[in-house]
């Protein structure tokens, strides 16, 4: 089978190990691997090339994706999808493995319905906001990057007796913020999924400050849009000198952790095996150490929910 791999949407660490394993596994099972460079934009522009072992040598430790990625507006115009189809036909590509989020899966599903090009999705996003999978590719590295940043911020926060409000990525999902707050010992965590009771937090923290607390770490998920408000609260209500750190795109980069390398391998192997089993319009998921697939409709129509066992550890904020 001629199978192409592509990235789509925000990149995440672990894509390169997945791409490397994709090429190797295709050769192992007698498939022909192809790269689509530059995501959907590249597919429209015909940036498709046969992949070789040489292409994936020395990439396992690199963040980002050697094949690139993009968010495409042109994709939503039929004439560009027709052009993309012609490009695939020219190369004889029979199926696509897409590393992306649910927006990317939806984008390829339009294509499948229109031109019958099969695809398998691999949940790739630091946001961990995809239904049906416990851990998306890239999340573990992002969590470790955030941990490293918060540990460093704690050094200066404690030395200077300041409050730090640290904003994490995640779009509408508070997973990164919640897990980081728990594992980095933050005093405050504000995420879209849980109501933040500011009055209770004020009472608790005022008492702690009276008893000698000298600094404070507050993690705020970008999806709440409350970073400035929480900083003002620290400064004015709690009376602490406050600084804001928006972690931004450093969360998307960096060399993938061991967990993300193994996940990349596992996700890709399951995707290729699913294609061999004749599966169509499915997304690979990872739960309890096992890879399997779910129909695309389940994945894109249902919302991811942060597990209760994680949310319950956040009860220090309410
Ligand atoms: O979906 C991944 C993500 O990094 C989000 O956490 C963030 O809101 C968004 O992408 C940023 O997008 P861009 O890279 O286009 O600024």
Pair 100, 169 in one domain: no
In a domain, 316, yes or no: no
Pair 162, 95 in one domain: no
Q: Domain residues for 41? A: 2-138+256-302
In a domain, 314, yes or no: no
In a domain, 62, yes or no: yes
How many A from CA of 1 to the centre of ligand 1? 33
Is the confidence at residue 318, as pLDDT, over 50?
no
Instruction: Report DSSP letters for 212-246, one per residue.
Output: T---EEEEEEGGG--HHHHHHIIIIIS---EEEEE
Domain's final residue, options 194, 225, 252: 252
How many independent structural domains does the chain possess?
A: 2
Q: Does 10 sit in the ligand 1 pocket, CB within 6 Å?
A: yes
**71 Cα nearest atom in ligand 1:** 15
Pair 206, 235 in one domain: yes
Position 68 scores a pLDDT of 98
Q: Does 129 sit in the ligand 1 pocket, CB within 6 Å?
A: no
In a domain, 57, yes or no: yes
The 10 Å Cβ neighbour count of residue 273 is 16
Is the confidence at residue 316, as pLDDT, over 60?
no
Mean pLDDT of the chain: 97
Pair 125, 164 in one domain: no
Compute the distance between CA of residue 135 and CA of residue 138 in angstroms, rounded to an integer: 8
Which tens digits make up the pLDDT trace of 92-137? 999 999 999 999 999 999 999 999 999 999 999 999 999 999 999 9
> Residue 270 maps to which CATH number?
3.40.50.450
Pair 109, 166 in one domain: no
Is the confidence at residue 315, as pLDDT, over 90?
no
Residue 127 is a catalytic residue: yes
How many A from CA of 32 to the centre of ligand 1? 32
What mean pLDDT is predicted for residues 233-245? 98
Candidates 264, 207, 206, 214; CA nearest to 238 is 206
Pair 279, 189 in one domain: no
Q: Which residue has the tokens 């099972």?
A: 29
Pair 38, 84 in one domain: yes
In a domain, 12, yes or no: yes
Is the confidence at residue 2, as pLDDT, over 70?
yes
Pair 160, 125 in one domain: no
Tokens describing residue 95: 């199926």
Contact 267, 291 (CB under 8 A): yes
**101 Cα nearest atom in ligand 1:** 1
- Ligand 1, pocket-test mutation among 252, 253, 254, most atoms within 8 A of CB: 252
> Residue 173 maps to which CATH number?
3.40.50.460
For ligand 1, atom 13, the nearest C-alpha belongs to: 10
Pair 120, 44 in one domain: yes
Is the confidence at residue 296, as pLDDT, over 50?
yes
Position 133 scores a pLDDT of 98
Compute the distance between CA of residue 129 and CA of residue 149 in angstroms, rounded to an integer: 22
Is the confidence at residue 317, as pLDDT, over 80?
no
Q: What is the pTM of this model?
A: 0.97
Position 129 scores a pLDDT of 98
Pair 134, 159 in one domain: no
pLDDT above 90 covers a percentage of the chain that reads 98
Compute the distance between CA of residue 239 and CA of residue 242 in angstroms, rounded to an integer: 9
**252 Cα nearest atom in ligand 1:** 4
Rounded (10°) CA dihedral 83, 86, 88, 89: 170
Question: At CA 163, angle to CA 158 and CA 165, rounded to 5?
Answer: 120
Backbone φ/ψ region at 128: left (φ over 0), alpha (ψ -120 to 50), beta: left
In a domain, 307, yes or no: no
- Ligand 1, pocket-test mutation among 71, 143, 171, 251, most atoms within 8 A of CB: 171
In a domain, 34, yes or no: yes
For ligand 1, atom 14, the nearest C-alpha belongs to: 10
Q: Which of 102, 127, 129, 260 is labelled catalytic? A: 127
For ligand 1, atom 8, the nearest C-alpha belongs to: 171
In a domain, 310, yes or no: no
For ligand 1, atom 10, the nearest C-alpha belongs to: 10
Which tens digits make up the pLDDT trace of 19-52? 999 999 999 999 999 999 999 999 999 999 999 9
Q: Does 125 sit in the ligand 1 pocket, CB within 6 Å?
A: yes
Q: Does 21 sit in the ligand 1 pocket, CB within 6 Å?
A: no
Q: Does 136 sit in the ligand 1 pocket, CB within 6 Å?
A: no
For ligand 1, atom 12, the nearest C-alpha belongs to: 10
Q: What sign has the CA pseudo-torsion 14, 246, 103, 285? A: positive
Domain's final residue, options 237, 252, 267: 252
Pair 202, 233 in one domain: yes
Which tens digits make up the pLDDT trace of 270-281? 999 999 999 999
Compute the distance between CA of residue 81 and CA of residue 84 in angstroms, rounded to an integer: 5
**222 Cα nearest atom in ligand 1:** 8
Pair 50, 78 in one domain: yes
- Tell me whether residue 72 is exposed, middle or buried, using C-beta atoms within 10 angstroms of its C-beta: 0 to 12, 13 to 18, 19 or more: buried
């Amino acid at each position: 089978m001629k199978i192409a791999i592509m990235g789509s949407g925000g990149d995440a660490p672990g894509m390169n190990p997945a791409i490397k394993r994709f090429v190797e596994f295709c050769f192992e099972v007698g498939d022909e691997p192809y790269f689509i460079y530059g995501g959907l934009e590249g597919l429209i522009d015909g940036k498709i090339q046969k992949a070789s072992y040489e292409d994936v040598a020395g990439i396992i430790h690199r963040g980002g994706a050697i094949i690139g990625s993009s968010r495409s507006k042109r994709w939503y115009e039929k004439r560009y999808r027709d052009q993309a189809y012609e490009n695939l036909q020219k190369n004889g590509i029979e199926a696509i493995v897409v590393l992306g989020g649910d927006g990317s899966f939806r984008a390829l599903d339009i294509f499948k319905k229109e031109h019958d090009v099969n695809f398998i999705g691999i949940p790739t996003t630091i946001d961990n906001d995809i239904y049906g999978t416990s851990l998306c590719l890239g999340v573990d590295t992002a969590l470790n990057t955030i941990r490293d940043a918060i540990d460093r911020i704690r050094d200066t926060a404690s030395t200077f007796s300041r409050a730090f409000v640290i904003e994490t990525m995640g779009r509408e999902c508070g997973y990164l913020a919640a897990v980081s707050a728990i594992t980095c010992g933050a005093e405050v965590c504000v995420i879209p999924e849980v109501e933040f009771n500011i009055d209770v937090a004020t009472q608790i923290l005022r008492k702690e400050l009276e008893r000698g607390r000298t600094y404070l770490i507050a993690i705020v998920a970008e999806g709440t849009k409350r970073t400035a408000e929480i900083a003002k609260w620290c400064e004015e209500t709690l009376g602490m000198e406050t600084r804001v750190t928006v972690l931004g795109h450093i969360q998307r980069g960096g060399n993938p952790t061991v967990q993300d390398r193994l996940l990349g391998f596992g996700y890709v192997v399951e995707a290729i095996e699913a294609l061999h089993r004749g599966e169509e319009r499915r997304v690979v998921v990872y739960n309890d150490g096992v890879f399997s697939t779910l129909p695309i409709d389940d994945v894109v129509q249902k919302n991811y929910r942060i597990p209760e066992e994680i949310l319950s550890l956040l009860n220090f904020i309410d």
